Chain A
Amino acid sequence: AQSVTQLGSHVSVSEGALVLLRCNYSSSVPPYLFWYVQYPNQGLQLLLKYTTGATLVKGINGFEAEFKKSETSFHLTKPSAHMSDAAEYFCAVIRGGGYQKVTFGTGTKLQVIP
């Protein structure tokens, strides 16, 4: 079985401040990990993914995440928040292999304060 825990359903940061969204996972086999962003009334957009190889993954819009196996974490960061980053972010995990059944976290709503 696999699961995803996102700490903090709401996170507020000032514009220009560091963004840190936390994600911890559990998986009995090496996982594939994803971060998605969702804007109001929209679908999910892939920010970045970790499959194998380099544990620091860079994504779109200046976001990056680091896979830490020892901590079972995959936290999402961005050095400087922009107003357009305000959205809901979802961490997701699948077991190695095809995209057949993904488990999503409960989501974190990011508010950016001007």
Chain B
Amino acid sequence: KAGVTQTPRYLIKTRGQQVTLSCSPISGHRSVSWYQQTPGQGLQFLFEYFSETQRNKGNFPGRFSGRQFSNSRSEMNVSTLELGDSALYLCASSLGQGPEAFFGQGTRLTVV
């Protein structure tokens, strides 16, 4: 059974640009959650999608957005990148009804 796949693994972008990250969940999983991990702030919840609908949202500005497709794959978009957006972005998938989730290896975003 394939795990959670995040692409790309590494990204370098310039301030002001936008970026799209992708997450393919485990087959059969309908929930995808996104997290930002930085040395200063730790792991912070961004949002969660279930069956193409955003079900929960963390405290991030509107520059951070996401969506989920009918095949449960999810994308996260960050517009007008700032230096502080440099982080490891983690995606987790779950069935959606239970308390267990599986994480991908993350996308390391560097904003210069």
User: Which A residues are within 8 Å of any B CB, using their own CB?
Assistant: 32, 34, 36, 41-46, 49, 51, 90, 94, 97-107
Contacts and interface: CB of A to CB of B under 8 A. Distances in A.
Contacts of A32: 99
Contact of B99 (A36, A94, A104, A107): A94
Given A100-B55, A101-B58, A43 B90 contact: yes
A69 to B, nearest CB: 17
A95 B17 CA distance: 37
Interface residues of B, number: 27
Interface string B25-58: 0000001010100000011010010000001101
Contacts of A46: 100-102
Contact of A41 (B92, B96, B108): B108
Consensus secondary structure, chain A interface: loop
Contacts, number: 64
7 contacts: A43-B4, A43-B6, A100-B33, A101-B33, A102-B33, A102-B101, A104-B35
B42 A99 contact: no
B76 to A, nearest CB: 15
Contacts of B106: 41-43
Contacts of A98: 31, 94, 96-99
A100 B43 contact: no
Contact of B45 (A36, A43, A103, A107): A103
